[in-house]
Chain A
Amino acid sequence: MTRFIADLGYATIRFILELGRIAAFAADVGRAVITPPARVGAFVAELFNIGVLSLLIICVSGAAVGMVLGLQGYNTLVRFGAEESLGAVVGLSLIRELGPVLTALLTTGRAGSATTAEIGTMVATEQLDGLRMLAIDPVHLVVAPKTLAMVAAMPLLSALFIVCGLAGGYLVGVALMGVDAGNYVSSLQNAVDFRDDVLGSVLKAFVFGILVGLISTFRGYTCQPTSAGVSAATTSTVVVGSVSVLLFDYIITALWGV
């Protein structure tokens, strides 16, 4: 029993220390973002890596999720004779929850893990120490553009996911199940509120972008300088990033009703 309490205390202290380290790291990144010179070239390159290279997976996943929602929604709504509301069901589900959350999870798996692996490899091969010895801040040169690109890309990818999802729902509902196209679009228009739903969705995606950006760069930056260390950091990014996204999704929903 004493050992259990000691282990629990040790784990708690480690958790709090880790939170403190990531908070200090976030402050460093924030300072680097506003400190000149602006790393525009690095930011654009990262935006390409995170955003453009994720387009296919986001579009395909968005369309697939929309199609499933369309099918499940139709089968449920038709029992109550309310299949004309399919557009509202698909739209609200995607905009309020599934769009930002699934985009964040997919981006964590594809771009977040790649970011961690890239920075971790730079740690293991002493490239970041090499920059320090050249009096160049690696947080400013490497970490800040990657984090900023993740924050910028996440709302855009989430919007794309939602659009593809709506198209997938339309395809199944209208083209396959015979729901009236006008009803699908008008129920969607009537149900979705720009301020509460759309801006709320953007807020969620923005917060998830900060979370995934910070976690993926922090894990890479602080990983053990070995191949096993890089591997463990990459796994940790996917696990911690995904769980954090889901937890923060609940917190944002509870606080702001988004």
Chain B
Amino acid sequence: MRFGTRPVLIDFSCEFPGGRISVVLGGSGAGKTTILRLIGGLIQPQEGRIWVAGTNVVGLSERQLYEVRRKLGMMFQGGALLNSLTVYENLAFPLREHTQLSEQEIAERVHATLAAVGLRDVDHLLPGELSGGMIKRVALARAILRDPQILLCDEPFSGLDPISVKRIEALLRRINQERGITMIVSSHHIPSTMRMAHHVVLLWDHKAVQGTPQELASSPDPQIADFFNEELHEEGVREPQHTPVHRW
């Protein structure tokens, strides 16, 4: 995958286990968001294949992509809520578009989903009136509203205070456990990754390094191990394991 002449993902291959929480880790500009957008068909790679719920999304028309996206939910970094609609309307709108539910059924479902993400009495608020953490939770509610098979979360912890980070993290874990949704989370927040991820894809030099968080943290490659342990040390999660740095 290239943007103009700038390579982002080269000879790249990875997979995400079903029903589990996978975290895509990497530095800024490594291509974390690009992977989520590729999965959602929002951008197309120059070559290769991307299998999403049994369908190769590369080369599909926009109309064909809509069929695939019915199985997906996406929580955008900035929320991507419609600014002109209230919280309630932001959630009710996709249900009106895609289901034959009555207004009462829609209201029940919207309120149940808002309650699931810990929000009450926010129906009438506009996105501009919400805090950063609340926007993330409304965006999460909208993403899980139609029970997607796969949930894509783009930087769900960015710009949040430590308490909100833990709240969102707990929410994602609970949704994964209760609904069995496959989650693919892009993040550069290593402490939360260590706590919630079943599977990690680390973007390193345009390639993917995969494994469990523990496997990557104790990687024989010193740079990868340091990538994990330095961050954990800064957050005070556990003592860093200093290893000599080698070129790899």
Residues of A within 8 A of B (CB): 121-122, 125-127, 129-137
Dominant SS among interface residues on chain A: helix
- Some 30 contacts from A to B, beta carbons below 8 A apart, are A122-B83, A125-B80, A126-B77, A126-B78, A126-B80, A127-B80, A129-B42, A129-B80, A130-B74, A130-B76, A130-B80, A131-B82, A132-B40, A132-B42, A132-B66, A132-B69, A133-B72, A133-B73, A133-B74, A133-B76, A133-B152, A134-B94, A134-B142, A135-B69, A135-B70, A135-B94, A135-B98, A136-B94, A137-B62, A137-B66
Residues of chain B from 69 to 94 with CB closer than 8 A to chain A in the complex: 69-70, 72-74, 76-78, 80-83, 93-94
Task: Contacts A125-B83, A127-B83 given; indicate if A133 touches B78 (C-beta within 8 A).
Answer: no
Q: Mark B38-65, 1 if CB is under 8 A from A, else 0.
A: 0010100000000000000000001001
CB of A86 to closest CB in B, whole Å = 48
How many Å from the CB of B113 to the closest CB on chain A? 14
Bound complex: CA A191 to CA B219 (Å): 89
Chain B's closest residue to A118 (CB) is B84
Collect the chain A residues with CB atoms within 8 Å of residue B40's CB: 132-133
A127 touches B42 (CB 8 A): no
For residue B178, CB closer than 8 A to chain A, the reply is: no
Q: Taking the complex as formed, is B97 at the interface, i.e. its CB lies under 8 A from any CB of chain A?
A: yes
Is the pair B42, A133 in contact by a Cβ cutoff of 8 Å? Answer: yes
List residues of chain A with CB within 8 A of the CB of B65: 132
| B66 nearest CB neighbor, chain A only | A135
Inter-subunit contact A136/B74 (CB<8 Å): no
The smallest beta-carbon distance between B78 and chain A, in angstroms, is 6
CB closest residue in chain A, given B97: A136
State A125–B78 Cα separation when bound (angstroms).
Answer: 7
Q: Which residues of B contact A129 (CB under 8 A)?
A: 37, 42, 76, 80
Q: Which residues of B contact A134 (CB under 8 A)?
A: 69, 93-94, 97, 142
Cβ contact within 8 Å between A127 and B97:
no
